[in-house]
Amino acid sequence: MALSLENALAVKQQASSWAGVGPGPQMQLKAFWMYHAQHNKNKDLDFIGLADLTGDTVVADAACQLYVVYLKKQATATDAFAKFVDHATTAAGSTFFLCAELAESSEEVMLVFPNGIPQASGITAVSSTTDTGTTDTTSRDGPNGYCIIGAP
């Protein structure tokens, strides 16, 4: 399946309207949009929402570039390690290229890659209880958030 890209300004509106984003991530996102407009010529992107990330969640099932990951821990004390792998359907058995620990209730993480991180197969996300483990976090312990991706 092909990526569902849309105008970067539409993606900016979706990301900007995401509820509960703190001032630090907001400033990082603002810097990304300025860079994207000037250096990436505002090329089309896709906004992928993530809700209660626990088991395998397909972000993209085709080659793409990952530009932004925003994650916010739900109001629990259980550690969550959000991991992203270069695979179109599953995280199991794949080496993750990105891992973000969210240990505190309502903790936020914003990762910005101005030129994108290329992924040959797609992106699958999962949230585990440890950084090297394979036990998925349980419902309401996984983070919420979004990814912004584009064409390779």
Quick: pLDDT tens for 106-117: 999 999 999 999
**Which two three-digit tokens encode residue 135?**
């036990």
Residues 7/114, Cβ–Cβ less than 8 Å = no
Query: Rounded to the nearest 5 degrees, what angle is found at the Cα of 66, between the Cα atoms of 151 and 148?
Result: 85
pLDDT at 11: 98
Which amino acid is present at 61?
D
Helix (H) or strand (E) holding 137: none
Q: Model-level pTM?
A: 0.93
Helix (H, G, I), strand (E, B) or coil at 11: helix
- Residue 72's pLDDT band (cuts 50, 70, 90): very high
Question: Is residue 141 pLDDT above 90, yes or no?
Answer: no
